[in-house]
Each structure stands twice: as structure tokens, then as C-alpha cells.
Amino acid sequence: MRVELLGLPVDLLSYDATVGRALAAMRGEAPRCQHVALNVAKLVNARRDPELDRDIRDSDLIGIDGAGIALALRLLGQRGVERVAGIDLFESLIAACAEHGFRPYLLGARPDVVADTARALTQRHPGLELAGYHHGYFRPEQEAEICRQIEMSGAHCLFIALPTPHKERFMRRHRDALNVPFLMGVGGSFDVVSGRVQRAPRSVQALGAEWFYRLAQEPRRLAGRYLKTNAVFAGLLLGAAARRFVAPQTAGPLGRGRGR
């Protein structure tokens, strides 16, 4: 079910249902599926970036990646909200690829990081065959050749570790020409899989504080972004909650009635 949160659509799909939809696309039982993982920073940035807003809206599946998104949906009255963290989905789909013979293509990160990610995944999953991989440090004039390589690889799925909004833009621009059944942006997942960044313990994830764990590891890179987007998001959420309390018949359960 698709609902709207603070001006952007979100799909309320369980973890298992999300995996199932991706595999159905890879098997050819469903249309091509482009997945976008929505977190607080992406939602806030989309409000001032019309092209990112369009990239998200035009996606086939908009998943609840961030704990903040899941919490906001619950606070605004939505039931049955399940977070589907992008890195967990990525790792589950890689395992499914190894089991069913699907061939993923990895795009993004530094050359050493994507190479180490490919090596780690094939060691972890002995049956896994990669369609190929390419780093994310390419020039605009090289993009067409990279797309040609991806198309010729016969990949069943494409995982893109470029920063926002570049991965969303890449998918929307090339999804039809690539002929890849399932496409997904995976953010910093390659850094985790390759061992460059340590993921938060399960207990921290369960508390919804994984963002703080990442901040502690990379304070210079993340501090400004997190502080700014989290503060804006908190203000938006408080405003939506107030409108729901004062005029629920106008705002609706997710604060939809006031626009952006």
C-alpha cells in the first residue's frame, strides 16, 4: 500500500514482500522494478530539489529505509509500519542471487572499495556469480559506455552505491535502456561489506540509533548533514502532528492535506 508522508509517497511493504517483489522481477514474473530507499535526509532534500522529488515519485518501489521514516509514520497514525533497511535488503538479495543463479552488477564507490566488495560477496556466497562491477568515479562522458557494459552483462539486478541524488538520477535516466529487471540504490553498503565502515550492533539498530553510530565513525563527513536534515525533519513532523491534532479532518492521518 502506498501512502504519503510529509509530501512524499512511501510504500508500506514488509521485508519479505519487498524481497519477493524484487525476485519476481528477476524471474521475469513481474515488470522491471526500480527501488528507492527513503530516509530522513532524502525526504528533506527532496523538498528543495524538484528533480530528486521527481526521481523518488517515479520509482516503482519506495522503501522505508530510515528509522526516522518508520517512526514518523507511526507517530502520524499509520499502522503496520515495518522498516526495510537498504543494507539488509541488499544482503538478502545477494544471498538469493547465489541461491537462484541470478547475476548482480555492482556500480559505485572507489575502485578499491567496489573490488573488495565483489571479493567479499563471492567469498561469502560461493555460488554467487557477478555480472560485473565498476567504480563510481566516472566522468559524464563515460556514462554511456558504462551503461552499455551493464546492458551487455545480462545482469538480473543492479546495485548502485553512488551518493544521493546521483544514484536516483542514474536509475531514472537509464532504467529503461539498461534492460536490468531490478535496480536499487544501496548508499554506503559497499563500505560496510568491504570492511571500511562497521555497522551498528543489532541492539543499536533496534533502538533506531544506527545513524548516531555512523556519525561517531565519520563525524567530519556526516555531522553537518545529520544535524541539518534531522532538525528540519523534526520541525516538519511536529507541524504535521499539530495539524492532525487541531484539524484531523483536513490534514488526514499522515498530514497530507496541507501540501508541501
pLDDT digits (tens, 9 = 90+) for 2-15: 999 999 999 999 99
Given the C-alpha cell 536490468, which residue does it identify? 180
Residue of 30, 148, 20 lying closest to 84 (CA atoms): 20
Q: How confident is the model at residue 259 (pLDDT cuts 50, 70, 90)?
A: very low
Q: Are the C-beta atoms of 50 and 229 separated by less than 8 Å?
A: no
Q: Residue 222's pLDDT is what?
A: 67
Q: How far apart are CA 10 and CA 41, in angstroms?
A: 15
Q: Which three cell numbers stand for residue 114?
A: 567496489
Residue of 34, 85, 42, 74 lying closest to 206 (CA atoms): 85
pLDDT over 90 at 250, yes or no: no
pLDDT over 60 at 260, yes or no: no
Mean pLDDT score, 55-76: 94
Q: How confident is the model at residue 255 (pLDDT cuts 50, 70, 90)?
A: low
Q: Residue 247's pLDDT is what?
A: 65
Given the C-alpha cell 522494478, which residue does it identify? 33
pLDDT over 80 at 211, yes or no: no
pLDDT over 60 at 122, yes or no: yes
Q: Residue 240's pLDDT is what?
A: 87
Q: How confident is the model at residue 252 (pLDDT cuts 50, 70, 90)?
A: low
pLDDT over 60 at 248, yes or no: no
Calculate helix-pair angle for 67-75, 219-246, nearest 10 degrees: 10
Mean pLDDT score, 214-227: 70
> Amino acid identity, residue 56?
I
pLDDT over 80 at 175, yes or no: yes
Residues pairing with 89 in the sheet: none
> Amino acid identity, residue 2?
R
- Per-residue pLDDT of 131-156, as tens digits, reads 999 999 999 999 999 999 999 999 99
Kindly report the pTM of this predicted structure.
Answer: 0.89
Dihedral sign of CA atoms 202, 206, 208, 212 in order: negative
pLDDT over 70 at 207, yes or no: no
Q: Are the C-beta atoms of 55 and 36 separated by less than 8 Å?
A: yes
Q: How many CB atoms lie within 10 A of CB 47?
A: 16
Q: Residue 257's pLDDT is what?
A: 37
